[in-house]
Amino acid sequence: MLIAVDGPAAAGKGTLSRRLAEHFNLARLDTGLIYRTVAKKVLETKDPENNKIAIEIAQFLSLNDLDTNGLRDEAIGTAASKISAIPEVRKTLLNFQRNFAKNPPNGKVGAVLDGRDIGTVVCPKAEFKLFITASSKIRAERRFKELQDRGKEAIRSAILRDIIDRDERDSIRSVSPLLPARDAQILDTSKLDPDAVFNLALNFISLKI
């Protein structure tokens, strides 16, 4: 069983994917974490603008590197969005993601992958594709609360600006732009709580099983 969950920043992909993975006993890969991990490592080098370094870091990435600590900040999200537009970085990370989908770890019989291009490029043959979205204002509000809950300082207007910029960068890039697959079920979560989103996703999946 393969579930693809795509959508823009802070739309609720993570929450939904975690719940789907738990419900169906599947492995989960947050592909944003992969780009964030590469971005963090690139930022730690002396030459963060050098694409060659980003490509090299992507080539040597392993599952054990995907540590969530310190990766959720907007600055890392922005850096991830920049390095994820480098075609060779995407190409390298494509194999990593496909391998996970094909051979889910811990003996699981399937996987949930969430990101921007799972249904369109990484797993175009996934049986279940969801595209989760919400208005940019609502997404900014959710990210604001998430940062507050983690005790981080946050400025609403700056978060909204970051989200709008990131959406634009993710949507206009030439490789794998953010786009719903033609056979994806689109869920606008602007007025829905996590339970309602989960139930809608379950309905969609059970209709196809």
Q: Which residues bind ligand CDP (CB under 6 A)?
A: 9-10, 31-32, 35-36, 77, 80-81, 84, 115-117, 166, 170
Nearest distance, CB of residue 85 and ligand CDP, angstroms: 7
Nearer to ligand CDP, 25 or 102 (CB): 102
Minimum Å gap between C-beta 31 and ligand CDP is 4
Closest CB to ligand CDP among residues 82, 108: 82
Of residues 84 and 92, the one with the C-beta less far from ligand CDP: 84
Burial 106-144 (b: 16+ CB within 10 A, else e): eebebbbbbbbbbbbbbbeebebbbbbbbebebbbbbbb
107 SS3 class: coil
Report the distance separating Cα 92 and Cα 101, nearest Å.
15
Quote the least distance from Cβ 118 to ligand CDP, whole Å.
6
- Cβ proximity to ligand CDP, 123 vs 205, nearer residue: 123
Residue nearest to ligand CDP (CB): 32
CB of 89 to ligand CDP, least distance (A): 9
| Closest CB to ligand CDP among residues 92, 170 | 170
Query: Nearest distance from residue 209's CB to ligand CDP, in Å?
Result: 25
Minimum CB distance to ligand CDP smaller for 108 or for 169? 169
- Residues in contact with 1: Cβ distance below 8 Å, sequence separation at least 6, in sequence order: 24, 26, 109, 110, 111, 127, 128
Phi/psi of residue 184, nearest 5 degrees: -90, 145
Listed in sequence order, the residues at least 6 apart from 153 whose beta carbon sits closer than 8 Å to its beta carbon are 147
Helices (H) and strands (E) in the chain, counts: 8, 5
Q: Name the DSSP class of 118.
A: I
Q: Which two tokens stand for residue 100?
A: 């996970």
Minimum CB separation from ligand CDP for residue 38, in Å?
Answer: 9
